[in-house]
Structure formats: structure tokens, C-alpha cells
Amino acid sequence: MEQIKINKLEIENVKRIKAVKVEPTASGLTVIGGKNNQGKTSVLDSIAWALGGEKYRPSMAQREGSVIPPALHIVMSNGLVVERKGKNSSLKVTDPSGQKGGQQLINEFVEQLALDLPKFMESSDKEKARTLLRIIGVGDQLEVLDRREKELYNNRLAIGQIADRKKKFADEQPYYPDAPKELVSPTELIKQQQDILARNGENQRKRENLHHLEQEYQKINEQMEVLLKKQKQVQDDLVVARTSAKDLKDESTAKLEESIANIEEINRKVRANMDKDKAEEDARDYKDQYNALTIEIDKTRKEKTELLQSAELPLPELSVKDGELIYKGQQWDNMSGSDRLKVSTAIVRKLNPKCGFVLLDKLEQMDIDTLNEFGQWLEQEGLQAIATRVSTGDECSIIIEDGYSNNIVPQAQKAWKAGEF
């Protein structure tokens, strides 16, 4: 697509300008130099007025002290001639074939920000990013992804804080490895104790029976002669009793008695272990949620990156992160002066690819190296920049002094000739 640039401009009696002629370089940087209050900025204001329309008309367009109305004459690279002259500074647009046109014809190739690039450069970081996203056509999609990422991030932050608190709480809980997993019931222990005591009681009854039989046996022996028959019966019973009592062994209730006595302490430890297990489980659960949200955030960020990579950006390495422009990994406030100019100019070109020029004021803020770097980039990109700078150095393409460009001899300095007025 052809880029329209300014081939030549002639300005008279606009603001501080008396007479200025400029033929900007087609690709690169044209610096209009001069001291303060000589008419440099008036050149840019005149171009903006001529090409941008009435909204750019200076509040005091006619040069103070001049009785001659402003006159502006601009020739574009596509052959279009733009003029403002006469009492009302009426617009006149003529195409190469001689056909007349109006502001609408100019608007087709003039981007408004090209006439006021500082307006873009001085806008907020968020507004710059919105401008870029609008022109590459991904603003709405990226806004959705930004909102999703922010929501996921805030959720993950809250979950992470809870997980940390849960983990800290779990770490602070005491743990007793020797305690059982479940709470101990005193009823069950007492029943076990009663069963053992019952069995022991039966054992005691059997022992007492043995003792009784032994005593009776003794008596029978003493009365052997009288009680032989009864002795035989008792003797048989004794054999049976001895057999029954031979393998008897009492069970100890000491451990159960100790457990019953210590049941509250045991259950305290069990509850403490259960609390610690629950706290650790909660901490793991929130940690899992945190990790899941991290995956979602990474996925969203990847979608944003892929969305921007698939978009036709004005410059390589130019992107948007967290709602702000990023160029070569740097945010706007960390970009060099040259990079800021490159980004701004590239965005203007993207806004209207037909517009091949930009206007820049106050480049005295930049050193010569920055100017040269920016100028080389403009040449490489085939773009035109017309800029002003408080300077009279060699970097200036033209010098404005007292309203005149240095390629015009002021009327008062011309030699007087007879018959000429």
C-alpha cells in the first residue's frame, strides 16, 4: 500500500511564521531548528491545520502585526495539493488531474495522531495499550483473558494464603506416634476386665474345690478303714480335679487397669493426632487447589501470548502485558527516547497505513545519537518525520529565524531597485 508523505510545504503569516519553505526528506527525519520563539512549532501547527481541518486551526492563526491573511500550500507525494488562503483561510484540495476535493479526501490518508504524536506519547500507559490492541483487533479478546487471569490470580492468592496458614497450624500441632488411631472406649475395656475377672473367679473356685478335696482326702486317709469305699470315689474325683486344674493360668488385668486409668490421656493424644491429620489434609487440599489455579493461570497467559503472537503487530518485540505496552522487554517508562518514538510512529502507521508521515515537537530533549538512531530507523521503514528542535546545529535540516526559514531571504533584506515596491 502506497504511503502518502509531504513533498513540499510553503507557509506565510501563520502564528509566528512570516515565510517558510520546507522540502522534507521522503524517508527519514527532517529537523526544523532555531532558537526559542522563532516559529518552529508554528510550522507543525500549520501542517496540522492544513491537513487536519478546522479543529486544528490556531486560536490566533494570522501572524500578529500582519495585514495579509495566512497562506498555506502543501504538495503531497501522491500529487495532491492542499491550500488554505484568503480572508477565511478556506480549504482547497486539488488532485493531479485538476479535480477539486475537500477534507474528506485528505482524511483518507492522514491519521490524526500523526498530526499530534505527543498526544499519544503523553497518554497513559493503559491508553497506549488500548490503542494498540484496538488497531490489531484483539482488544476485546485480550480483555476477557486479562479478566480471567486476574480472577484466577486473586483466587490462587487467597487459596495460597489459606494453604500456608493450614500448613503452619498443622506443623504446630503435637503428634503421638504411640497413640491408637481411634478413640478408646472405657466401656469396652471395663467389659474386657469383667470377663477376665469372671474367668479368674472360676479358676479360684476350682482351686478352692481342689483344696477342699485334698482336705477330705486327708480325712479319708485317717479314717481309711472306715471310709475305703468313699475314699475310692473321692480318689477318682481327685484325679479329675487335678487334670482340670493342671493347665490353668490366670490372666493379668494390669494392662487394662492401666489403660482404664490412663484413658483420658490416651484419648487426648488420639484427638491431637486426629487434629494434626485433619490439618495436614486441609493444607494438602488447598495446596492442590493452588497448583490447579497455577496451571489455569499459565494456560491463560499462554493464550494471551499466542493471541498477541498471531496478531499483526506494528513492530517486532512489541506486545502488551498487564494492560501496558512492552517493547524489547521494557515498559514505556523504561524505554529509550528513540524506542518511544519508534513505537509511537509504528502505531500511527498501523492506524492508517496510507499515512507515511508524523509531526514531532521539542526534540531538543534527545541527544544527537538518539536522533540519528531514530532517523536511521525511519529511513529503514520508509517513513517521514518532520520535527522541531531548539538548536541551530548541523542536525537541523532547516533553521527558522524571526519567522523565516533560512532558505528564504526576508523582504527587508532584499536590495532595493528603482521602480520596485
Is a pLDDT exceeding 50 seen at residue 416?
A: no
Residue 163 cell numbers, joined: 494453604
Same domain for 234 and 198: yes
How many domains does the structure of the chain reveal?
3
d(CA 146, CA 140): 10
Residue 130: per-residue pLDDT: 81
Same domain for 377 and 288: no
Assign 302 a pLDDT band (cuts: 50, 70, 90): confident
| Inside any domain, residue 379 | yes
Q: Which residue has the cell 496478531?
A: 311
Residue 420: per-residue pLDDT: 37
Residue 118: per-residue pLDDT: 79
Mean pLDDT across the chain: 85
Assign 409 a pLDDT band (cuts: 50, 70, 90): low
Residue 224: per-residue pLDDT: 67
Same domain for 356 and 405: yes
Contact by Cβ (8 Å): 115, 52: yes
| Inside any domain, residue 326 | no
More confident residue, 122 or 19: 19
pLDDT in tens, 100-154: 989 998 988 888 888 888 788 888 888 888 888 877 777 678 778 888 888 999 9
Assign 43 a pLDDT band (cuts: 50, 70, 90): very high
d(CA 101, CA 115): 20
Assign 419 a pLDDT band (cuts: 50, 70, 90): very low
pLDDT in tens, 214-271: 888 777 777 666 656 776 777 778 877 877 877 778 888 888 777 777 888 888 888 8
| Inside any domain, residue 305 | no
More confident residue, 75 or 144: 75
Pick from 77-81, 130-134, 276-280, 414-418: least confident? 414-418
Reduced 3-state DSSP string for 299-319: HHHHHHHHHHHHCCCCCCCEE
Same domain for 359 and 229: no
Is a pLDDT exceeding 90 seen at residue 51?
A: yes
Same domain for 150 and 204: no
Residue 135: per-residue pLDDT: 76
Q: What pTM value is reported for the model? A: 0.62
CATH number at residue 379: 3.40.50.300
Pick from 24-33, 178-187, 289-298: least confident? 178-187
| Inside any domain, residue 55 | yes
Is a pLDDT exceeding 50 seen at residue 412?
A: no
Same domain for 271 and 397: no
Same domain for 386 and 267: no
- Which structural domain, as residue segments, surrounds residue 241? 186-277
Ranges of H-type helices in 173-262: 186-222, 228-245, 254-261
| Inside any domain, residue 123 | no
Same domain for 155 and 283: yes
Say what percent of the chain tops pLDDT 70.
94
CA 192 to chain CA centroid, Å, is 67
Same domain for 283 and 153: yes
d(CA 403, CA 416): 21
Same domain for 192 and 63: no
Same domain for 283 and 272: no
